[in-house]
Amino acid sequence: MSEPLVAVDWGTTSLRAALLDGDGRVLAEHASAQGILAVPPGQFASVLAAACAQWERPAGQLVLMSGMVGSRQGWQEAPYCPCPAGFAEVAAQLAWVQDAPPSLRVAIAPGLSCEQDGVPDVMRGEEVQVFGALDLLGLDGGLFVLPGTHSKWVRVQGRRIAHFATFMTGEVYALLRKHSILARTMAQADGALDTQAFTRGVEHARAAGNLLHAAFSARTLSLFGRIQEAALPSYLSGLVIGEELRSQSLDAAQGPVVVIGSDALTARYELALQCLGVRAQTVGPQATWRGLWSIAQTLEQA
Amino acid sequence: MSEPLVAVDWGTTSLRAALLDGDGRVLAEHASAQGILAVPPGQFASVLAAACAQWERPAGQLVLMSGMVGSRQGWQEAPYCPCPAGFAEVAAQLAWVQDAPPSLRVAIAPGLSCEQDGVPDVMRGEEVQVFGALDLLGLDGGLFVLPGTHSKWVRVQGRRIAHFATFMTGEVYALLRKHSILARTMAQADGALDTQAFTRGVEHARAAGNLLHAAFSARTLSLFGRIQEAALPSYLSGLVIGEELRSQSLDAAQGPVVVIGSDALTARYELALQCLGVRAQTVGPQATWRGLWSIAQTLEQA
């Protein structure tokens, strides 16, 4: 049995922390809206101390953090670790925080970078979720999807992240949903997911092969009365997620497909993948705690 | 020699009119911001009368109009004419305005509709520009591009529009440029086009094969200092126009490629097409006048 760990997922708009025992079990959790954009300069140490003040901690307690806290806008920049990268590479490149609160040893996991067609790609925090999912599911490889504002598709081979790609799916959905001409015929509230309209969107995105064209169908189908206005947000969601899926190689021979995220979002991706005949596994946000815990184990063993 | 014609291009946000002589020559032009959204209910006739009040006109003067004036939100709905459609089909389906100003005969050219993969597509006004370009360039067919908020790609065979497709290129550019995370590192003003950054964007869009992914490169290239911030708007413009081009079959055997529009926009498309080894012809906004005049000729001969 190893030492307890404080694991922190510190993003742009939220702070989540957990106290884990030596076996990686979650003993307590804390969440607040104190994302890095809400922390005044010089106040990161006190915000962290307050976040885990209610937990009994030994002197020299290890705190491992991931997410945008390691970006230029965060507490301390943790330079990106280039792919391929696994537990060992990330553990070796932890950024140890200089102005940690008294009696805490605080480190930030580096984000990952990779390169394709002469263009870099980056992520911060998702790599830790992938590591956690690997451990929770007992996998060595596969294709990992982390849906969100900027979705990540991560290819893992031999417990190392070989490559990944970002898709601005959530952000483009929100822009089309709220600010484009398509918004004019859509209700303000999203309502429950209309699965039929959603899968219709997924399939049309694949047939059209280009979201700039496919998105216009949300307007024309409405204009010709061929879709209910209430179903349009679900249809548009299917179009953008379908567009994201269109670019993935989902060959089963390359290993399982795993979706990591909240229930609502993973359910949409499971459904979209089903349209393509792919059965995905899912893992919830606890993947972060498991990932940080596994990095801490690697650190102990190093 | 035929009769003179008043030709009107009445869109959502602008009204343009021209007086043409019997040979289609433009004698005078008028332009205002009185697009259909700016016209109070019941005032279309008086706005039109005022727009051509300064021109001497014979009794029974023919006025041909195209654009959103024929939409549900316009003066009078002109039902879409299904493709394939040429001069004759459009002339036969003109919507004659019931409440025209005294001494004017006023008709609205119908927009066109087509269908692919069970999804309709529509345009209003662009079909007239294509007809005008056919006459101005002496062509029977080809691929016609009308760049804009909603770009149209129009396939013409035997002087009839066989098929077309809409791409929300201009609108998605504006959304990404002004409202997305990419906007944070871009100057407010666009500045002059940086042709090198623009062609780099066109090429990356093709390589990436998906704008949801390619757009993120505007962020990472900037993050890694591999592109000047001042060049980002041009790079992003290349990305979205490159994405639009990615879906076109530009096989030279299918006839010439013609770009119709303002100088600034046609120049970008010419440049993007050059990246793909395609040399395009261009036609300016006068295509509308020629198109309406040609429909009037067809009407006279019918």
Residues of A in contact with B181 (CB under 8 A): 150, 168, 171
Put simply, whether A96 touches B (Cβ < 8 Å) is no
Q: Is the CB of A216 less than 8 angstroms away from the CB of B167? A: yes
Among candidates A110, A70, A69, which has minimal Cα distance to A93? A110
Using CB atoms within 10 Å of the CB of residue A41, give its burial: 0 to 12 exposed, 13 to 18 middle, 19+ buried.
Answer: exposed
Put simply, whether A218 touches B (Cβ < 8 Å) is no
Tell me the per-residue pLDDT of A11-31, one tens digit each, with 9 for 90 and over.
999 999 999 999 999 999 999
Q: Do domains A5-162+285-301 and A167-283 have the same CATH topology?
A: yes
Confidence of residue B1 (pLDDT cuts 50, 70, 90): low
Give the per-residue pLDDT at B57. 80
The CA distances from residue B184 to A13, A38, A229, B180, B219, in Å, are: 17, 18, 33, 8, 9
Alpha-carbon Rg for chain A, nearest whole angstrom, is 21
The minimum CA-CA distance between B5 and chain A, rounded to whole Å, is 32
User: Which of B213, B219, B239 should be substituted to probe chain A, the one whose Cβ sees the most A Cβ atoms within 10 Å?
Assistant: B213
Q: What is A167-283's CATH number?
A: 3.30.420.310
Where are the alpha helices (H) located in chain B, listed in sequence order? 44-51, 87-92, 126-137, 169-179, 195-208, 211-214, 217-223, 232-246, 263-275, 287-301
pLDDT along chain A (302 residues), means of 10: 89 95 94 94 94 87 97 95 97 96 94 95 98 97 96 98 98 96 85 95 97 98 94 97 95 89 95 95 96 94 77
Give the per-residue pLDDT at A59. 84
Residues of B in contact with A209 (CB under 8 A): 247
Average predicted confidence (pLDDT) for chain B: 95
Give the per-residue pLDDT at A188. 78
pTM: 0.95
First-to-last C-alpha distance (Å) of chain A: 16
Asked casually if ipTM beats, i.e. exceeds, 0.90, the reply is yes
Mean pLDDT over B79-83 rounds to 97
- Please provide residue B63's backbone torsions phi and psi, each rounded to the nearest 5 degrees: -120, 120
Please tell me whether residue B122 adopts helix, strand or coil conformation.
strand
Tell me the per-residue pLDDT of B26-62, one tens digit each, with 9 for 90 and over.
999 999 999 999 999 899 999 999 999 999 888 889 9
Put simply, whether A192 touches B (Cβ < 8 Å) is no
Tell me the per-residue pLDDT of A153-206, one tens digit each, with 9 for 90 and over.
999 999 999 999 999 999 999 999 999 999 988 877 888 999 999 999 999 999
Is the domain covering A5-162+285-301 a CATH 3.40.50.1820 domain? no
Tell me the per-residue pLDDT of B23-33, one tens digit each, with 9 for 90 and over.
999 999 999 99
User: Which of B77, B119, B180 should be substituted to probe chain A, the one whose Cβ sees the most A Cβ atoms within 10 Å?
Assistant: B119
Which residues numbered 17-76 in B keep a CB inside 8 Å of some CB on A?
A: none
- For B133: left if phi > 0, alpha if psi spans -120 to 50, otherwise beta; the answer is alpha
CA distance A176 to A161: 32
List A114's β-bridge partners, or say none.
A121
Put simply, whether A177 touches B (Cβ < 8 Å) is no
Put simply, whether B183 touches A (Cβ < 8 Å) is no
Q: Is the CB of A171 less than 8 angstroms away from the CB of B180? A: yes
Residue ranges per structural domain of chain A: 5-162+285-301, 167-283
Put simply, whether B240 touches A (Cβ < 8 Å) is yes
Contact A273, A202 (CB under 8 A): no
Closest chain B residue to A247, measured at CA? B210
Residues of A in contact with B210 (CB under 8 A): 167, 211, 243-244, 246-247
Q: Tell how many helices (H) and how many strands (E) occur in chain B.
A: 10, 15
Residues of B in contact with A220 (CB under 8 A): 119-122
